[in-house]
Amino acid sequence: MKTIPVRHITSAQGDRAKSGRFSIRDIQQVLNGKDLLHDLHKHDFFFILLVQKGSGIHAIDFIEYEVKDYAVFIIRPGQVHRLELKAGSTGFLMEFDFAFYQPKHTITEQRWKKATSKNYCDVEAARFMKLHSVLANIYNEFSARQEGYTEAIQASLDLFFIEYIRQSHDPKGIANTKKSYTQQRFEELLRLLETNIGSMKNVSQYADLLSLSSYQLNAITKASAGKTVSDLINEQIILEAKRYLLATTNQVKDIADHLGYEDVSYFIRFFKKHTGHSPEAFRKNFK
C-alpha cells in the first residue's frame, strides 16, 4: 500500500541533530518568478507560511483557504495540505521540528499549543507587520549564523507566538488554569488519535492512555469541542480515510485495512454514513 508522501526539512541545519531541524526561506526566492504547486502531502515538522502580498489556494486537511495579503498559515506535523502560490507573492516560509522548538515553560507551552491549533489567521495590516518583523529577524539570524543564532531564533519564535495569539478572540484565556488543564488533555487526545486511529477505536482505550475514566474524557471533549470522544474518533477515521483517498491511488480495501477494518463493506457503509459519499465517489468528486 502506498503511503501519503511525507516531506522533510532540507537545509544546512539538517546535520545539527542535537538542536533539531530548522529552515526559513524568502517566498520570492522560493518562487523564483514562477507559480508554486505542491500536491497533497504531509510534513514531519511544523510549517508556517506568512504571506505579505500574494494569491493562491491553500487546502489544509480538505478545508480550502484563499491565500491573500496579510495571511498566516500554521500546519502541524501529520496534517495533509496542498498549496498553490502565485508568482510575485512575498513573505516567509518557515519550518521546524519538535527538537528545535518545543517550549518547556508552562505558559509559553500553552500559548504555543493554542497558536498551532489554529491553521489560518487573517491579520490586520499593522499587526501583520509585527509578525513580519519577527520573521525577518529570524531570517537574518539564520542567514548570518553568528554565535548563538539558534538560541536567538528560538527566543524570536516565543515572540512570534505571543503576537500571533493576540489575534485570537480570547488571548487572555490562556491564563485560566482550569481551562488550560482541560485544553492540555484535549490536545493530548488529539495527538493520540492522530497516531493510533488505525489500531484503537474505543473510548476506553484512549481514556486508559490518558489515565482518565471514559466519563472524565468525555467531559473534557465536550468542554473543549462540544463533542463526545466517539465523535472525535469517527472524525479522525474519516479524515485519515480522506487523506489516503485523495493523496494516494490505493484501493479502498487497502485503505480500509490500513484503518483496521477487515470488512471493507462495513468501512464503505461507515464512510458513506459520515460523508454522504462512497469512498470511490468521494475520490472521483473531490480529487
- What pTM does this model have? 0.75
CA 241 to chain centre: 17
- Cα→Cα distances 151→9, 96, 131, Å: 19, 14, 19
pLDDT for res 171: 46
H-type alpha helices, 77-124: 106-116
Q: Give residue 99's identity as a one-letter amino acid code.
A: A
Domain boundary among 173, 197, 225: 173
pLDDT computed for residue 234 by the predictor: 96
pLDDT digits 0-9 by tens, 202-213: 999 999 999 999
Best CA proximity match to 2, nearest among 259, 255, 253, 236: 255
Contact 201, 162 (CB under 8 A): no
For residue 85, what is the enclosing H or E element?
A: strand 80-85
Domain boundary among 173, 190, 217: 173
Which residue positions in the chain have pLDDT lower than 50? 12-17, 171-179
Domain boundaries, position 248 = 177-286
Which pLDDT score is estimated for 96?
A: 94
Give the count of beta carbons closer than 10 Å to the beta carbon of residue 261: 20
Element containing residue 165 per DSSP (H, E): helix 149-165
Q: Are strands 6-7 and 36-43 parallel, antiparallel or unpaired?
A: parallel
- pLDDT, residue 43, reads 85
Decide if 1 is inside a domain: no
- Give yes or no: residues 187 and 148 share one domain: no
**The domain that contains 202 carries what CATH number?**
1.10.10.60
- Are 187 and 112 in a shared domain? no
Using the Cα atoms of residue 258, residue 263, residue 267 and residue 270 in order, give the sign of their dihedral: negative
Examine the domain organization and report whether 53 and 132 are in the same domain.
yes
Domain check: are 37 and 71 in the same one? Answer: yes
- Split into its structural domains, the chain has a count of 2
Among candidate residues 163, 167, 212, 168, the one with its CA nearest the CA of residue 188: 212
Q: Supply the pLDDT for residue 17.
A: 45
